[in-house]
Structure 1
Amino acid sequence: MKKLIAPVGFGLLLTLAFFSCKKSANDSADTSYQQLSDDERALIVAAGFNGNWAERTSDGNYLVEGDILLSRAQLNELKGVVSHEIIYANEEHYRTTNVVSTPASGQRTITVRLGSGFPAHYSTGLDQALARYNNLNLKIRFQRVSSGGNIVITGANLGTSGGGCILGQAAGFPTSSGNPSSGFVLSTSSCATSYLNTANKADEVIAHEIGHCIGFRHTDYMNRSSCGQNVNEGSAGVGAVHIPNTPTTVTGSYNSWMMACTNGSPSFSAADNTALNYVY
Protein backbone atom coordinates (compact mmCIF):
# COMPACT_ATOMS: atom_id res chain seq x y z
CA MET A 1 0.00 0.00 0.00
CA LYS A 2 1.15 3.52 -0.74
CA LYS A 3 -0.14 6.08 1.75
CA LEU A 4 0.31 9.75 2.57
CA ILE A 5 -0.50 12.16 5.35
CA ALA A 6 -3.72 14.05 5.92
CA PRO A 7 -4.28 17.22 3.90
CA VAL A 8 -4.69 19.04 7.22
CA GLY A 9 -1.01 18.29 7.81
CA PHE A 10 0.19 18.49 4.23
CA GLY A 11 3.12 20.69 5.14
CA LEU A 12 4.45 17.81 7.24
CA LEU A 13 4.70 15.42 4.33
CA LEU A 14 8.41 15.70 3.82
CA THR A 15 9.46 15.96 7.45
CA LEU A 16 7.31 12.98 8.47
CA ALA A 17 8.30 10.84 5.48
CA PHE A 18 4.63 10.45 4.51
CA PHE A 19 4.01 8.52 7.73
CA SER A 20 0.25 8.46 7.86
CA CYS A 21 -2.75 9.49 5.90
CA LYS A 22 -6.01 11.30 5.99
CA LYS A 23 -9.24 9.92 7.35
CA SER A 24 -12.08 9.44 4.95
CA ALA A 25 -13.56 12.75 3.84
CA ASN A 26 -16.91 11.42 5.00
CA ASP A 27 -16.34 9.92 8.44
CA SER A 28 -20.07 9.25 8.83
CA ALA A 29 -20.23 6.97 5.78
CA ASP A 30 -21.42 3.41 6.40
CA THR A 31 -18.38 1.15 6.43
CA SER A 32 -20.03 -1.84 8.13
CA TYR A 33 -19.49 -3.92 4.98
CA GLN A 34 -15.75 -3.81 5.72
CA GLN A 35 -16.12 -5.85 8.90
CA LEU A 36 -15.16 -9.51 8.55
CA SER A 37 -17.09 -12.42 9.97
CA ASP A 38 -15.22 -15.00 12.03
CA ASP A 39 -15.36 -17.41 9.07
CA GLU A 40 -13.95 -14.82 6.68
CA ARG A 41 -11.14 -13.91 9.05
CA ALA A 42 -10.37 -17.61 9.51
CA LEU A 43 -10.20 -18.04 5.72
CA ILE A 44 -7.78 -15.12 5.40
CA VAL A 45 -5.60 -16.56 8.16
CA ALA A 46 -5.77 -20.03 6.57
CA ALA A 47 -4.54 -18.44 3.33
CA GLY A 48 -1.54 -17.19 5.30
CA PHE A 49 -2.34 -13.50 5.62
CA ASN A 50 -2.61 -11.40 8.75
CA GLY A 51 -6.29 -11.52 9.65
CA ASN A 52 -6.01 -8.19 11.42
CA TRP A 53 -4.79 -6.45 8.25
CA ALA A 54 -7.72 -7.24 5.98
CA GLU A 55 -11.20 -5.98 5.23
CA ARG A 56 -14.12 -6.69 2.92
CA THR A 57 -14.62 -4.28 0.03
CA SER A 58 -17.98 -2.99 -1.16
CA ASP A 59 -17.96 -5.46 -4.09
CA GLY A 60 -17.49 -8.45 -1.78
CA ASN A 61 -13.78 -9.04 -2.37
CA TYR A 62 -11.05 -8.78 0.26
CA LEU A 63 -8.35 -6.14 0.67
CA VAL A 64 -5.17 -7.45 2.31
CA GLU A 65 -1.89 -5.63 2.98
CA GLY A 66 -3.75 -2.44 2.07
CA ASP A 67 -3.24 -2.69 -1.68
CA ILE A 68 -3.78 -6.31 -2.75
CA LEU A 69 -7.33 -7.20 -3.79
CA LEU A 70 -8.25 -10.91 -3.64
CA SER A 71 -11.51 -12.72 -4.29
CA ARG A 72 -12.89 -15.43 -2.03
CA ALA A 73 -11.99 -17.97 -4.74
CA GLN A 74 -8.37 -16.79 -4.70
CA LEU A 75 -8.25 -17.04 -0.91
CA ASN A 76 -9.66 -20.57 -1.09
CA GLU A 77 -6.93 -21.49 -3.58
CA LEU A 78 -4.30 -20.21 -1.17
CA LYS A 79 -5.85 -21.88 1.89
CA GLY A 80 -3.56 -24.51 3.31
CA VAL A 81 -0.84 -23.92 0.73
CA VAL A 82 2.57 -24.11 2.40
CA SER A 83 5.80 -23.07 0.74
CA HIS A 84 9.07 -24.37 2.14
CA GLU A 85 10.65 -21.23 0.73
CA ILE A 86 8.80 -18.86 3.09
CA ILE A 87 11.18 -16.93 5.31
CA TYR A 88 9.96 -15.80 8.71
CA ALA A 89 13.16 -14.11 9.91
CA ASN A 90 13.55 -10.35 9.88
CA GLU A 91 14.93 -10.18 6.36
CA GLU A 92 13.99 -7.73 3.66
CA HIS A 93 13.23 -7.60 -0.10
CA TYR A 94 10.77 -10.34 -0.85
CA ARG A 95 9.23 -11.99 -3.87
CA THR A 96 6.23 -14.28 -4.20
CA THR A 97 6.66 -17.99 -4.92
CA ASN A 98 5.22 -17.48 -8.41
CA VAL A 99 7.07 -15.07 -10.66
CA VAL A 100 6.69 -14.16 -14.33
CA SER A 101 8.12 -16.88 -16.55
CA THR A 102 10.92 -15.83 -18.90
CA PRO A 103 12.59 -17.50 -21.91
CA ALA A 104 15.92 -19.30 -21.65
CA SER A 105 17.41 -16.61 -23.84
CA GLY A 106 16.25 -13.13 -24.76
CA GLN A 107 13.50 -11.18 -23.04
CA ARG A 108 9.80 -11.57 -22.42
CA THR A 109 7.75 -8.51 -23.35
CA ILE A 110 4.97 -7.49 -20.97
CA THR A 111 2.50 -5.01 -22.42
CA VAL A 112 1.02 -2.25 -20.27
CA ARG A 113 -2.00 -0.06 -21.00
CA LEU A 114 -3.12 3.09 -19.22
CA GLY A 115 -6.89 3.37 -19.18
CA SER A 116 -8.79 6.52 -20.08
CA GLY A 117 -9.58 9.52 -17.93
CA PHE A 118 -6.17 10.13 -16.37
CA PRO A 119 -4.38 13.51 -16.45
CA ALA A 120 -1.55 13.86 -18.97
CA HIS A 121 1.18 13.66 -16.32
CA TYR A 122 0.06 10.09 -15.45
CA SER A 123 0.94 9.12 -19.01
CA THR A 124 4.35 10.70 -18.62
CA GLY A 125 4.79 8.96 -15.28
CA LEU A 126 3.98 5.58 -16.83
CA ASP A 127 6.55 6.16 -19.58
CA GLN A 128 9.14 7.05 -16.94
CA ALA A 129 8.35 3.96 -14.83
CA LEU A 130 8.60 1.59 -17.79
CA ALA A 131 11.86 3.20 -18.91
CA ARG A 132 13.35 2.72 -15.43
CA TYR A 133 12.55 -0.99 -15.51
CA ASN A 134 13.76 -1.38 -19.10
CA ASN A 135 17.03 0.44 -18.39
CA LEU A 136 18.00 -2.45 -16.10
CA ASN A 137 18.00 -4.82 -19.11
CA LEU A 138 16.09 -7.52 -17.25
CA LYS A 139 14.69 -10.79 -18.63
CA ILE A 140 11.34 -8.99 -18.80
CA ARG A 141 10.77 -5.87 -20.85
CA PHE A 142 7.78 -3.55 -20.67
CA GLN A 143 6.04 -2.12 -23.71
CA ARG A 144 3.23 0.38 -23.61
CA VAL A 145 0.17 -0.35 -25.77
CA SER A 146 -3.04 1.51 -26.57
CA SER A 147 -5.32 -1.54 -26.55
CA GLY A 148 -5.32 -4.88 -24.79
CA GLY A 149 -2.34 -5.21 -22.47
CA ASN A 150 -1.03 -7.84 -20.06
CA ILE A 151 -1.18 -5.24 -17.28
CA VAL A 152 -4.05 -2.74 -17.45
CA ILE A 153 -4.17 0.39 -15.28
CA THR A 154 -7.62 1.70 -14.37
CA GLY A 155 -8.92 4.38 -12.02
CA ALA A 156 -11.38 4.27 -9.11
CA ASN A 157 -11.88 5.88 -5.74
CA LEU A 158 -10.08 3.46 -3.40
CA GLY A 159 -10.70 5.45 -0.26
CA THR A 160 -8.71 4.50 2.82
CA SER A 161 -7.52 1.42 4.68
CA GLY A 162 -6.38 1.31 8.28
CA GLY A 163 -6.53 5.10 8.40
CA GLY A 164 -4.33 5.42 5.32
CA CYS A 165 -5.09 6.92 1.93
CA ILE A 166 -4.67 4.20 -0.70
CA LEU A 167 -2.86 5.43 -3.81
CA GLY A 168 -2.87 2.19 -5.79
CA GLN A 169 -4.21 -1.34 -5.53
CA ALA A 170 -2.87 -4.37 -7.42
CA ALA A 171 -5.08 -7.25 -8.59
CA GLY A 172 -2.99 -9.94 -6.94
CA PHE A 173 0.37 -11.43 -7.89
CA PRO A 174 1.73 -13.53 -10.79
CA THR A 175 -0.27 -16.63 -11.63
CA SER A 176 0.90 -20.22 -11.32
CA SER A 177 1.15 -20.28 -15.13
CA GLY A 178 3.83 -17.58 -15.02
CA ASN A 179 1.83 -14.57 -16.14
CA PRO A 180 1.83 -11.19 -14.39
CA SER A 181 -1.17 -10.00 -12.44
CA SER A 182 -3.77 -8.53 -14.77
CA GLY A 183 -3.26 -4.97 -13.58
CA PHE A 184 -3.95 -2.43 -10.90
CA VAL A 185 -6.09 0.54 -9.95
CA LEU A 186 -4.86 4.08 -9.28
CA SER A 187 -7.07 5.88 -6.83
CA THR A 188 -9.09 8.89 -7.93
CA SER A 189 -9.90 9.96 -4.35
CA SER A 190 -9.10 13.56 -3.46
CA CYS A 191 -6.35 12.56 -1.04
CA ALA A 192 -4.72 10.37 -3.70
CA THR A 193 -4.89 12.89 -6.53
CA SER A 194 -3.56 15.64 -4.26
CA TYR A 195 -0.42 13.50 -3.90
CA LEU A 196 -0.26 12.17 -7.45
CA ASN A 197 0.07 15.67 -8.90
CA THR A 198 3.33 15.30 -10.86
CA ALA A 199 4.78 12.82 -13.35
CA ASN A 200 7.40 11.75 -10.80
CA LYS A 201 4.76 10.94 -8.18
CA ALA A 202 2.75 8.96 -10.75
CA ASP A 203 5.97 7.19 -11.77
CA GLU A 204 6.65 6.25 -8.15
CA VAL A 205 3.26 4.68 -7.51
CA ILE A 206 2.95 3.03 -10.93
CA ALA A 207 6.38 1.38 -10.56
CA HIS A 208 5.38 0.11 -7.10
CA GLU A 209 2.14 -1.48 -8.31
CA ILE A 210 3.90 -3.00 -11.33
CA GLY A 211 6.30 -4.50 -8.78
CA HIS A 212 3.37 -6.35 -7.17
CA CYS A 213 2.11 -7.49 -10.58
CA ILE A 214 5.46 -9.16 -11.33
CA GLY A 215 5.84 -10.76 -7.91
CA PHE A 216 7.41 -8.42 -5.37
CA ARG A 217 6.08 -8.11 -1.82
CA HIS A 218 6.58 -5.04 0.32
CA THR A 219 10.20 -4.58 1.34
CA ASP A 220 9.06 -3.94 4.92
CA TYR A 221 6.46 -6.72 4.81
CA MET A 222 7.66 -7.95 8.22
CA ASN A 223 6.78 -4.77 10.10
CA ARG A 224 5.45 -2.06 7.75
CA SER A 225 7.99 0.29 9.29
CA SER A 226 7.51 2.84 6.50
CA CYS A 227 3.94 3.30 7.79
CA GLY A 228 5.09 3.75 11.37
CA GLN A 229 3.59 0.41 12.31
CA ASN A 230 4.76 -2.95 13.62
CA VAL A 231 2.46 -5.29 11.71
CA ASN A 232 3.50 -8.46 9.90
CA GLU A 233 1.45 -8.65 6.71
CA GLY A 234 1.57 -12.47 6.63
CA SER A 235 3.46 -14.62 4.16
CA ALA A 236 0.46 -16.43 2.63
CA GLY A 237 0.38 -19.18 0.07
CA VAL A 238 1.77 -16.69 -2.43
CA GLY A 239 5.04 -16.80 -0.50
CA ALA A 240 7.38 -14.25 1.02
CA VAL A 241 10.74 -15.41 -0.24
CA HIS A 242 13.77 -13.42 0.83
CA ILE A 243 15.89 -12.29 -2.11
CA PRO A 244 19.59 -13.05 -1.52
CA ASN A 245 22.10 -10.22 -1.20
CA THR A 246 19.51 -7.67 -0.10
CA PRO A 247 19.65 -5.98 3.34
CA THR A 248 18.48 -8.00 6.33
CA THR A 249 17.07 -5.01 8.23
CA VAL A 250 15.32 -1.84 7.12
CA THR A 251 13.84 1.18 8.88
CA GLY A 252 10.89 3.34 8.01
CA SER A 253 13.08 5.79 6.11
CA TYR A 254 14.74 3.05 4.03
CA ASN A 255 14.72 3.78 0.31
CA SER A 256 13.02 1.06 -1.72
CA TRP A 257 10.43 1.19 -4.46
CA MET A 258 8.47 -1.55 -2.67
CA MET A 259 8.15 0.00 0.81
CA ALA A 260 4.54 -0.26 2.04
CA CYS A 261 4.14 3.51 2.45
CA THR A 262 5.53 6.05 0.06
CA ASN A 263 8.90 7.72 0.59
CA GLY A 264 8.41 10.10 -2.34
CA SER A 265 11.30 8.70 -4.40
CA PRO A 266 10.72 7.72 -8.06
CA SER A 267 13.93 5.68 -8.26
CA PHE A 268 15.37 2.25 -7.63
CA SER A 269 17.92 1.95 -4.84
CA ALA A 270 21.04 -0.20 -5.20
CA ALA A 271 19.31 -2.99 -3.26
CA ASP A 272 16.23 -2.66 -5.49
CA ASN A 273 18.45 -3.18 -8.52
CA THR A 274 19.93 -6.26 -6.84
CA ALA A 275 16.47 -7.67 -6.16
CA LEU A 276 15.20 -7.01 -9.68
CA ASN A 277 18.29 -8.45 -11.33
CA TYR A 278 18.24 -11.54 -9.10
CA VAL A 279 14.62 -12.37 -9.90
CA TYR A 280 14.65 -11.29 -13.56
Structure 2
Amino acid sequence: MPDRSNAQFGTSGAGADGPAPAVRITGLWKRFGDQIAVSGIDLELPAGRFIGLVGPNGAGKTTTLSMVTGLLRPDQGRVEVAGHDVWEDPAQVKARIGVLPEGLRLFERLSGRELLGYMGRLRGLPGAEADKRATQLLDVLDLAGSQHKLVVDYSTGMRKKIGLAAALLHNPEVLFLDEPFEGVDPVSAQTIRRVLERYTASGATVVFSSHVMELVESLCDWVAVMASGRIRAAGPLADVRGDAPTLQAAFLELVGAQGLNAGDSLDWLGGGAATR
Protein backbone atom coordinates (compact mmCIF):
# COMPACT_ATOMS: atom_id res chain seq x y z
CA MET A 1 0.00 0.00 0.00
CA PRO A 2 1.41 3.44 -0.87
CA ASP A 3 2.11 5.64 2.12
CA ARG A 4 0.12 8.84 1.71
CA SER A 5 -0.17 9.84 5.35
CA ASN A 6 0.90 13.39 4.47
CA ALA A 7 -1.30 13.63 1.41
CA GLN A 8 -4.78 12.86 2.69
CA PHE A 9 -7.81 15.05 3.20
CA GLY A 10 -6.63 17.87 0.94
CA THR A 11 -4.01 19.31 3.29
CA SER A 12 -1.24 21.25 1.61
CA GLY A 13 1.29 20.67 4.35
CA ALA A 14 1.98 24.40 4.78
CA GLY A 15 2.42 25.66 8.28
CA ALA A 16 0.39 28.39 9.90
CA ASP A 17 3.11 30.90 9.01
CA GLY A 18 3.55 29.65 5.45
CA PRO A 19 2.41 31.48 2.33
CA ALA A 20 -1.30 31.95 1.77
CA PRO A 21 -2.80 29.33 -0.55
CA ALA A 22 -3.72 30.30 -4.09
CA VAL A 23 -7.14 28.68 -3.57
CA ARG A 24 -8.94 27.78 -0.35
CA ILE A 25 -12.09 25.65 -0.63
CA THR A 26 -14.25 25.00 2.42
CA GLY A 27 -17.31 22.75 2.65
CA LEU A 28 -18.12 22.91 -1.08
CA TRP A 29 -21.28 21.12 -2.22
CA LYS A 30 -23.16 20.91 -5.50
CA ARG A 31 -26.20 18.83 -6.40
CA PHE A 32 -28.02 18.42 -9.70
CA GLY A 33 -31.41 17.03 -8.80
CA ASP A 34 -30.82 13.82 -6.85
CA GLN A 35 -27.22 13.55 -8.00
CA ILE A 36 -24.46 14.89 -5.75
CA ALA A 37 -21.68 16.15 -8.03
CA VAL A 38 -19.43 17.64 -5.34
CA SER A 39 -19.67 16.34 -1.80
CA GLY A 40 -18.35 18.69 0.88
CA ILE A 41 -14.84 19.39 -0.44
CA ASP A 42 -12.20 20.99 1.80
CA LEU A 43 -9.01 21.76 -0.09
CA GLU A 44 -6.12 24.24 -0.11
CA LEU A 45 -4.06 24.66 -3.27
CA PRO A 46 -0.60 26.16 -2.71
CA ALA A 47 0.55 29.23 -4.60
CA GLY A 48 3.30 29.11 -7.18
CA ARG A 49 2.79 25.45 -8.10
CA PHE A 50 1.74 23.46 -11.13
CA ILE A 51 -1.31 21.65 -9.74
CA GLY A 52 -3.21 18.75 -11.28
CA LEU A 53 -6.82 18.02 -10.34
CA VAL A 54 -7.23 14.45 -11.49
CA GLY A 55 -10.05 11.94 -11.47
CA PRO A 56 -12.09 9.61 -13.66
CA ASN A 57 -14.85 10.91 -15.90
CA GLY A 58 -17.76 12.08 -13.75
CA ALA A 59 -15.58 12.64 -10.67
CA GLY A 60 -16.72 16.26 -10.29
CA LYS A 61 -13.59 18.01 -11.61
CA THR A 62 -15.33 20.33 -14.06
CA THR A 63 -18.09 21.16 -11.58
CA THR A 64 -15.50 22.00 -8.94
CA LEU A 65 -13.49 24.24 -11.27
CA SER A 66 -16.68 25.94 -12.44
CA MET A 67 -17.55 26.83 -8.84
CA VAL A 68 -14.00 27.88 -7.99
CA THR A 69 -13.88 30.28 -10.95
CA GLY A 70 -17.32 31.77 -10.38
CA LEU A 71 -19.01 30.15 -13.37
CA LEU A 72 -21.34 28.02 -11.23
CA ARG A 73 -22.83 28.91 -7.87
CA PRO A 74 -22.36 26.23 -5.17
CA ASP A 75 -25.22 24.98 -3.05
CA GLN A 76 -23.06 25.37 0.02
CA GLY A 77 -19.49 26.28 0.90
CA ARG A 78 -16.91 28.98 0.43
CA VAL A 79 -14.14 29.54 -2.11
CA GLU A 80 -11.30 32.05 -1.82
CA VAL A 81 -8.87 32.78 -4.64
CA ALA A 82 -5.80 34.90 -3.88
CA GLY A 83 -7.42 35.81 -0.56
CA HIS A 84 -10.72 37.04 -2.05
CA ASP A 85 -14.10 35.34 -1.75
CA VAL A 86 -15.31 34.25 -5.19
CA TRP A 87 -18.94 35.13 -4.54
CA GLU A 88 -18.61 38.08 -2.16
CA ASP A 89 -15.88 39.86 -4.13
CA PRO A 90 -16.18 38.59 -7.71
CA ALA A 91 -14.57 41.60 -9.39
CA GLN A 92 -11.36 41.20 -7.40
CA VAL A 93 -11.26 37.46 -8.11
CA LYS A 94 -11.90 37.78 -11.84
CA ALA A 95 -9.12 40.36 -12.11
CA ARG A 96 -6.69 37.80 -10.67
CA ILE A 97 -7.61 34.66 -12.57
CA GLY A 98 -7.47 33.33 -16.10
CA VAL A 99 -9.79 30.54 -17.21
CA LEU A 100 -9.72 28.09 -20.09
CA PRO A 101 -12.97 26.19 -19.53
CA GLU A 102 -14.25 22.95 -20.98
CA GLY A 103 -16.29 23.53 -24.13
CA LEU A 104 -14.52 26.83 -24.80
CA ARG A 105 -16.72 29.40 -26.52
CA LEU A 106 -15.06 32.22 -28.41
CA PHE A 107 -16.12 35.19 -30.54
CA GLU A 108 -15.77 33.15 -33.70
CA ARG A 109 -16.40 35.93 -36.23
CA LEU A 110 -13.29 37.77 -35.02
CA SER A 111 -9.79 36.99 -36.14
CA GLY A 112 -7.33 35.69 -33.58
CA ARG A 113 -5.68 39.12 -33.29
CA GLU A 114 -9.03 40.91 -33.04
CA LEU A 115 -10.13 38.51 -30.32
CA LEU A 116 -7.05 39.18 -28.20
CA GLY A 117 -7.29 42.93 -28.74
CA TYR A 118 -10.92 42.87 -27.67
CA MET A 119 -10.28 40.69 -24.63
CA GLY A 120 -7.36 42.88 -23.54
CA ARG A 121 -9.49 45.98 -23.64
CA LEU A 122 -12.29 44.23 -21.77
CA ARG A 123 -9.69 43.48 -19.08
CA GLY A 124 -8.89 47.19 -18.84
CA LEU A 125 -5.51 47.09 -20.56
CA PRO A 126 -4.53 50.19 -22.55
CA GLY A 127 -4.90 49.54 -26.24
CA ALA A 128 -1.20 49.73 -27.02
CA GLU A 129 -0.33 47.33 -24.18
CA ALA A 130 -3.07 44.90 -25.18
CA ASP A 131 -1.80 44.87 -28.76
CA LYS A 132 1.82 44.41 -27.63
CA ARG A 133 0.93 41.44 -25.43
CA ALA A 134 -1.27 39.97 -28.17
CA THR A 135 1.64 40.10 -30.61
CA GLN A 136 3.95 38.35 -28.15
CA LEU A 137 1.41 35.65 -27.30
CA LEU A 138 0.56 35.00 -30.94
CA ASP A 139 4.25 34.58 -31.68
CA VAL A 140 5.03 32.33 -28.70
CA LEU A 141 1.97 30.14 -29.31
CA ASP A 142 2.79 29.76 -33.01
CA LEU A 143 -0.35 31.59 -34.12
CA ALA A 144 1.26 34.58 -35.82
CA GLY A 145 0.68 33.06 -39.26
CA SER A 146 -3.03 32.63 -38.50
CA GLN A 147 -3.63 35.84 -36.58
CA HIS A 148 -5.86 37.37 -39.30
CA LYS A 149 -7.82 34.16 -39.83
CA LEU A 150 -11.31 33.96 -38.33
CA VAL A 151 -11.48 31.91 -35.14
CA VAL A 152 -14.39 29.93 -36.62
CA ASP A 153 -11.86 28.43 -39.05
CA TYR A 154 -9.34 27.48 -36.36
CA SER A 155 -8.55 23.83 -35.63
CA THR A 156 -9.09 22.37 -32.14
CA GLY A 157 -5.45 22.91 -31.23
CA MET A 158 -5.50 26.50 -32.50
CA ARG A 159 -8.66 27.21 -30.51
CA LYS A 160 -7.02 25.89 -27.34
CA LYS A 161 -3.98 28.08 -27.96
CA ILE A 162 -5.95 31.27 -28.70
CA GLY A 163 -8.11 30.53 -25.63
CA LEU A 164 -4.97 30.16 -23.54
CA ALA A 165 -3.63 33.43 -24.95
CA ALA A 166 -6.86 35.20 -23.96
CA ALA A 167 -6.64 33.71 -20.45
CA LEU A 168 -3.01 34.87 -20.04
CA LEU A 169 -3.35 38.32 -21.59
CA HIS A 170 -3.91 40.20 -18.32
CA ASN A 171 -1.16 38.24 -16.51
CA PRO A 172 -3.36 36.52 -13.88
CA GLU A 173 -2.10 35.22 -10.55
CA VAL A 174 -3.91 31.89 -10.95
CA LEU A 175 -4.69 30.12 -14.21
CA PHE A 176 -7.45 27.47 -14.34
CA LEU A 177 -7.46 25.03 -17.24
CA ASP A 178 -10.05 22.30 -17.81
CA GLU A 179 -8.61 19.48 -19.95
CA PRO A 180 -6.32 21.89 -21.86
CA PHE A 181 -4.63 19.13 -23.89
CA GLU A 182 -7.73 17.19 -24.93
CA GLY A 183 -8.01 16.97 -28.70
CA VAL A 184 -4.71 18.79 -29.18
CA ASP A 185 -2.04 17.51 -31.55
CA PRO A 186 1.46 16.78 -30.13
CA VAL A 187 3.05 19.91 -31.63
CA SER A 188 0.41 22.23 -30.16
CA ALA A 189 0.52 20.33 -26.86
CA GLN A 190 4.27 20.90 -26.61
CA THR A 191 3.82 24.61 -27.34
CA ILE A 192 1.15 24.94 -24.65
CA ARG A 193 3.32 23.01 -22.24
CA ARG A 194 6.32 25.32 -22.73
CA VAL A 195 4.19 28.40 -22.12
CA LEU A 196 2.68 26.96 -18.93
CA GLU A 197 6.08 25.91 -17.58
CA ARG A 198 7.42 29.41 -18.17
CA TYR A 199 4.36 30.90 -16.50
CA THR A 200 4.70 28.82 -13.32
CA ALA A 201 8.47 29.43 -13.22
CA SER A 202 7.63 33.12 -12.70
CA GLY A 203 5.80 32.27 -9.45
CA ALA A 204 2.25 32.06 -10.82
CA THR A 205 -0.11 29.14 -10.16
CA VAL A 206 -1.63 26.75 -12.69
CA VAL A 207 -4.55 24.49 -11.77
CA PHE A 208 -5.58 22.08 -14.50
CA SER A 209 -7.91 19.13 -14.59
CA SER A 210 -7.18 15.93 -16.46
CA HIS A 211 -7.76 12.20 -16.43
CA VAL A 212 -4.46 11.45 -18.20
CA MET A 213 -2.13 10.44 -15.41
CA GLU A 214 1.04 10.33 -17.54
CA LEU A 215 0.53 13.97 -18.52
CA VAL A 216 -0.10 15.06 -14.95
CA GLU A 217 2.93 13.19 -13.67
CA SER A 218 5.18 14.83 -16.25
CA LEU A 219 3.88 18.36 -15.64
CA CYS A 220 2.69 18.75 -12.07
CA ASP A 221 4.49 19.02 -8.75
CA TRP A 222 1.26 18.99 -6.68
CA VAL A 223 -1.82 16.81 -7.20
CA ALA A 224 -5.36 16.44 -5.88
CA VAL A 225 -7.16 13.17 -6.65
CA MET A 226 -10.94 13.33 -6.92
CA ALA A 227 -13.54 10.58 -7.24
CA SER A 228 -17.31 10.53 -6.72
CA GLY A 229 -17.34 14.19 -5.76
CA ARG A 230 -14.77 13.82 -2.98
CA ILE A 231 -11.06 14.49 -2.57
CA ARG A 232 -9.29 11.17 -2.01
CA ALA A 233 -5.75 12.55 -1.60
CA ALA A 234 -3.91 15.82 -2.13
CA GLY A 235 -0.37 17.01 -1.74
CA PRO A 236 3.03 17.02 -3.46
CA LEU A 237 3.18 14.55 -6.32
CA ALA A 238 5.68 12.29 -4.58
CA ASP A 239 3.50 12.07 -1.47
CA VAL A 240 0.35 11.20 -3.41
CA ARG A 241 2.20 8.60 -5.47
CA GLY A 242 3.74 7.10 -2.33
CA ASP A 243 5.36 3.72 -2.97
CA ALA A 244 3.44 3.12 -6.18
CA PRO A 245 5.60 2.89 -9.32
CA THR A 246 3.55 5.53 -11.14
CA LEU A 247 0.83 8.07 -10.44
CA GLN A 248 -1.46 5.92 -12.58
CA ALA A 249 -1.02 2.96 -10.22
CA ALA A 250 -1.59 5.14 -7.15
CA PHE A 251 -4.62 6.73 -8.78
CA LEU A 252 -6.27 3.38 -9.56
CA GLU A 253 -5.85 2.34 -5.95
CA LEU A 254 -7.13 5.63 -4.55
CA VAL A 255 -10.30 5.66 -6.64
CA GLY A 256 -10.97 1.98 -5.95
CA ALA A 257 -10.80 0.92 -9.60
CA GLN A 258 -12.60 -2.38 -10.10
CA GLY A 259 -13.33 -4.62 -13.01
CA LEU A 260 -9.81 -4.64 -14.46
CA ASN A 261 -10.52 -8.17 -15.71
CA ALA A 262 -14.03 -7.38 -16.91
CA GLY A 263 -13.07 -8.51 -20.41
CA ASP A 264 -12.94 -12.12 -19.17
CA SER A 265 -16.71 -12.35 -19.54
CA LEU A 266 -16.58 -11.22 -23.17
CA ASP A 267 -15.49 -14.60 -24.51
CA TRP A 268 -17.61 -14.01 -27.61
CA LEU A 269 -15.75 -10.84 -28.59
CA GLY A 270 -13.23 -11.02 -31.43
CA GLY A 271 -12.06 -13.94 -33.50
CA GLY A 272 -13.56 -12.55 -36.70
CA ALA A 273 -16.50 -14.97 -36.80
CA ALA A 274 -20.11 -13.85 -36.40
CA THR A 275 -22.12 -15.83 -33.88
CA ARG A 276 -25.86 -16.20 -34.01
Short-chain TM bin: under 0.3
Q: Which has the higher helix share?
A: 2
Larger radius of gyration: 2
Q: Which has the higher strand share?
A: 2
Tell me the TM-score normalised to structure 2 length.
0.27
